[in-house]
């Protein structure tokens, strides 16, 4: 018995949509929403002065953990930081440059502010404040952002947004397709390789780790990352992003090179772990702010594999 081609296409689309819904019902993948284990303890500060490459600065572990003092390892990389970025305002407004680093690269656990307009930064902060932007799973980083958004003044936010928007973006991620990846543990909300050279199958995951964990822990704004993705992901993502279906043509809103347009932020060279969470959160309904209605039809039939592929492709692009 032979079925018409159109019927096969419809059947496949229905199966894909059903599979995508089932994955959402199973819950967000742990690798994308890492949480510290119950017995997690931070390394105690032994008073050692920490250093990073190409910087004359030095800070102790206690200093780089201070939420009201952003360590500035490379002051020549950026304009003078506004007070709200470097010090924040006690007790509720943490220094923006602590979590997002001095000039905005962030990390897998939060947003890179590179290439974002001041208007977009202000808009997203407002959506954290009003509850329109949350996560599909509880996250400490989001809780901190929500707390800050409710306490920051319009003037402080405008100064921070203008500062980060003035900084030229740079790429800090290398995407590597691999069948096996280093075994990792959650270290203060991000993945870090375990001691030794043990590896394990990558499976249906992205494993994004700092090239040098201690430099990242020290909040070095020049820290770089390796993002391991399943073999074939980048090409699959490129195919999906340029799909003939206008609902999934990322370049329509985000630009042909995914470096952003007047209506949508750039996606190129951003943390694939962070970007995966955004796609997943749009699909689950956790992100329902501005433009979420435009994103909903894009993500509603995407599987976890599709999302991995799309963000592997976007992360592989350079600014």
Write the Ramachandran bin of 243: left for phi over 0, alpha for psi from -120 to 50, otherwise beta.
Answer: beta
Q: Which distant-in-sequence residues (6+ apart) come within 8 Å of 253 by Cβ?
A: 261, 263, 264, 294
Write down the mean pLDDT value for the chain: 91
User: Who wins on pLDDT, 290 or 5?
Assistant: 290
Write the Ramachandran bin of 199: left for phi over 0, alpha for psi from -120 to 50, otherwise beta.
Answer: beta
Report the candidate in 82, 100, 78, 87 with the shortest Cα–Cα distance to residue 220.
100
Alpha carbon distances (Å) from 39 to 35, 36, 120, 186, 187: 11, 8, 38, 11, 11
pLDDT at 285 over 60: yes
Alpha carbon distances (Å) from 13 to 198, 280, 282, 291, 302: 39, 19, 20, 25, 11
What is the C-alpha separation between 219 and 276, in angstroms, rounded? 23
Give 15's pLDDT tier (boundaries 50, 70, 90): very low
pLDDT at 8 over 70: no
What are the pLDDT digits (tens) for 238-271? 999 988 666 667 988 999 889 998 889 999 999 9
What is the C-alpha separation between 100 and 225, in angstroms, rounded? 15
Give 138's pLDDT tier (boundaries 50, 70, 90): very high
3-state secondary structure of 129: helix
pLDDT at 232 over 50: yes
- Residue matched to tokens 């599987």: 303
* Across 88-103, average pLDDT: 97
């Amino acid at each position: 018995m032979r079925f018409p081609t159109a019927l096969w296409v419809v059947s496949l689309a229905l199966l894909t949509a059903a599979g995508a819904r089932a994955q959402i019902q199973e819950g967000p993948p742990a690798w994308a929403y890492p949480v510290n284990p119950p017995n997690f303890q931070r390394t105690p500060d032994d008073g050692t002065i920490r250093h990073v490459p190409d910087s004359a600065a030095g800070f102790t572990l206690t200093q780089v953990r201070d939420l009201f003092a952003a360590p500035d390892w490379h002051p020549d990389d950026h304009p003078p930081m506004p007070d709200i970025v470097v010090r924040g305002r006690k007790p509720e407004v943490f220094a923006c440059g602590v979590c997002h680093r001095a000039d905005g690269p962030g990390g897998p656990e939060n947003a890179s502010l590179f290439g974002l307009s001041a208007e977009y930064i202000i808009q997203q902060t407002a959506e954290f404040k009003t509850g329109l932007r949350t996560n599909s799973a509880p996250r400490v980083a989001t809780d901190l952002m929500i707390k800050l958004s409710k306490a920051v003044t319009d003037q402080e936010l405008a100064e921070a947004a203008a500062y980060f928007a003035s900084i030229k973006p740079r790429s800090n991620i290398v995407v590597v397709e691999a069948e096996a990846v280093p075994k990792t543990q959650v270290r203060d909300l991000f993945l870090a390789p375990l001691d030794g050279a043990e590896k394990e199958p990558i499976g249906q995951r992205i494993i994004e780790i700092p090239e040098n964990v201690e430099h990242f822990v020290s909040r070095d704004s020049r820290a770089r990352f390796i993002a391991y993705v399943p073999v074939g992901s980048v090409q699959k993502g490129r195919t999906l992003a340029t799909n003939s279906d206008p609902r999934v043509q990322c370049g329509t809103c985000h630009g042909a090179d995914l470096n952003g347009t007047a209506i949508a932020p750039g996606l190129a060279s951003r943390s694939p772990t962070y970007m995966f969470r955004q796609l997943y959160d749009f699909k689950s309904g956790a992100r329902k702010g501005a433009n979420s209605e435009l994103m909903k039809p894009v993500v509603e039939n995407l599987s976890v594999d599709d999302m991995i592929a799309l963000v592997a492709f976007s992360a592989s692009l350079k600014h």
